[in-house]
Amino acid sequence: MARCVRPFRILAVMLLATAAAVGGIPVAAQIPTPPNRFYGTVQVNGAPAPDGTRVLALIGDTECGRTDTVDGAYRLDVPAAAMRAGCGSEGQVVRFRVAGMPVSQTAPWRGASFTELHLTVHIPLFDTAALDLGSPCIPPPGQARCDPARLRLWNGEQEAWNLLFRALGAPDPTPDRVFAEVIRMRLEAGDPALVALFAQRLGWPYVKVTAVRFRGTPPAEPDEYVEIANLGGGPQIMTGWRLRIGSSGAEFRFQPGAVLQAGQRCRAYTNLTRADSCPGFGFGSTFGLWDNDTDTATLTVDQPALVADRTAYRADPLNQPPPPLLRGIISAQ
């Protein structure tokens, strides 16, 4: 059950009265409606959600906010419609998704309010994993998730950067400097969404493994697939490129002369040929090739030692690998 409090309302009324008394500019033209902040715990399959679990807020079909869990909890501001089209108007129902799955808990949008709403969801074992291009926080090497301090820096919170600069004996950074530092931080971490954006602007190719469907239709699972995409802004000749599955050792080799155009995706199926199939050789297996629990995919060029991309996945929703590795989803195909 949602619990909503409005600590700003009395203060807002006082401000409105003061503005009217002094004959100021109409308040409606000056003060936008503050957001509705939702907060609470997140339970996945009866346990606290792992750090980094994505929480989305939606009004109708419009995404009005996203955040990641920390210590099994979330905090999310849902803006007013005046600040983001299609979002909060008084009384509209706010829905939530946790790790891509809808939850039953909802609450009405109330501007300038804090709403306590605890979210619970049951997520079966994933059958597909995909690259998250929403720029989730990437932890430092060797760590499973971002700690709260890194998450605040990643999200560009001014005060977090102020504290960091002060610790280094430097003056508080300007907003422009914070923007530049966030870009640098994300590029150094290998944020695929940001790298793709730069590649698009520069007209360069940027080829990644973007999805793996590892639980196909039994018994032979012919519709397992690995999806390879060119996220950049220029074509990539795929001669000499190959994809290797970690557990089975099976390889798919691209057809010489094949080209993956900017924005193009293709799939290498375990034992199917479809309109979106990658041009090449390999697989055609009469049994499933991808491990149903955890596995790796390695994309190489010319020689196995020249790795263009290496990624992994896990089926367990409570034990997902950190980004930018593939994150589990439920997919009908």
Max CA pair span of the chain? 81
Residue at a domain's end among 101, 123, 145: 123
The residue behind tokens 């807020």 is 57
Choose the weakest-confidence range: 124-133, 211-220, 300-309. Answer: 300-309
Clarify whether residues 189 and 329 are in a common domain: yes
Is the predicted pLDDT of residue 57 greater than 50, yes or no?
A: yes
Q: How confident is the model at residue 277 (pLDDT cuts 50, 70, 90)?
A: very high
**What average pLDDT does the segment 46-63 reach?**
93
Q: What is the pLDDT of residues 291-332, one digit of tens each?
A: 999 999 999 998 667 999 999 999 998 889 999 999 998 775
Clarify whether residues 128 and 234 are in a common domain: yes
**What average pLDDT does the segment 114-119 reach?**
98
Closest CA to 127 of 223, 16, 25, 229: 223
Clarify whether residues 85 and 46 are in a common domain: yes
Clarify whether residues 219 and 151 are in a common domain: yes
Clarify whether residues 169 and 306 are in a common domain: yes
Is the predicted pLDDT of residue 232 greater than 60, yes or no?
A: yes
Is the predicted pLDDT of residue 3 greater than 80, yes or no?
A: no
Q: What is the pLDDT of residue 216?
A: 95
Clarify whether residues 161 and 39 are in a common domain: no
- Ordered alpha helix ranges (H), 155-256: 158-167, 175-189, 192-202
- CATH code (residue 18): 2.60.40.10
Q: How confident is the model at residue 52 (pLDDT cuts 50, 70, 90)?
A: confident
Domain residues for the domain of 242 are: 124-333
Give residue 146's identity as a one-letter amino acid code.
C
Clarify whether residues 136 and 108 are in a common domain: no
Q: How confident is the model at residue 99 (pLDDT cuts 50, 70, 90)?
A: confident
253 versus 26: the higher-pLDDT residue is 253
Clarify whether residues 52 and 157 are in a common domain: no
Instruction: Please state the domain count of the chain.
Output: 2
Q: What is the pLDDT of residue 11?
A: 44
Is the predicted pLDDT of residue 87 greater than 80, yes or no?
A: yes
Q: What is the pLDDT of residues 58-78, one digit of tens each?
A: 999 999 999 989 899 999 999
Q: What is the pLDDT of residue 127?
A: 95
Q: What is the pLDDT of residue 282?
A: 87
Round the CA-based radius of gyration of the chain to a whole number and report it: 23
Residue at a domain's end among 83, 100, 123: 123
Q: What is the pLDDT of residue 317?
A: 86
**What average pLDDT does the segment 217-241 reach?**
97
Clarify whether residues 130 and 240 are in a common domain: yes
Give residue 262's identity as a one-letter amino acid code.
A
Q: What is the pLDDT of residues 167-189, one digit of tens each?
A: 999 999 999 999 999 999 999 99
Residues facing 77 on adjacent strands: 37
Q: What is the pLDDT of residue 10?
A: 41
Q: How confident is the model at residue 276 (pLDDT cuts 50, 70, 90)?
A: very high
pLDDT averaged over the chain?
90
- CATH code (residue 187): 2.60.40.1260
The residue behind tokens 């950074």 is 173
Q: How confident is the model at residue 27 (pLDDT cuts 50, 70, 90)?
A: very low
Share of the chain above pLDDT 90, in %: 79
Q: How many CA atoms lie less than 13 Å away from 192 in the CB half-sphere?
A: 23
Buried b (16+ CB within 10 A) or exposed e, 105-143: bebebbbbbbbebbbebebeebbbbbbbbebbbbbeeee
Q: What is the pLDDT of residues 13-26, one digit of tens each?
A: 444 444 444 444 45
Clarify whether residues 187 and 241 are in a common domain: yes
Residue at a domain's end among 66, 98, 123: 123
Clarify whether residues 318 and 240 are in a common domain: yes
Q: How confident is the model at residue 1 (pLDDT cuts 50, 70, 90)?
A: low
Q: Which of 81-85, 198-202, 282-286 has the highest mean predicted lDDT (pLDDT)?
A: 198-202
Clarify whether residues 135 and 46 are in a common domain: no
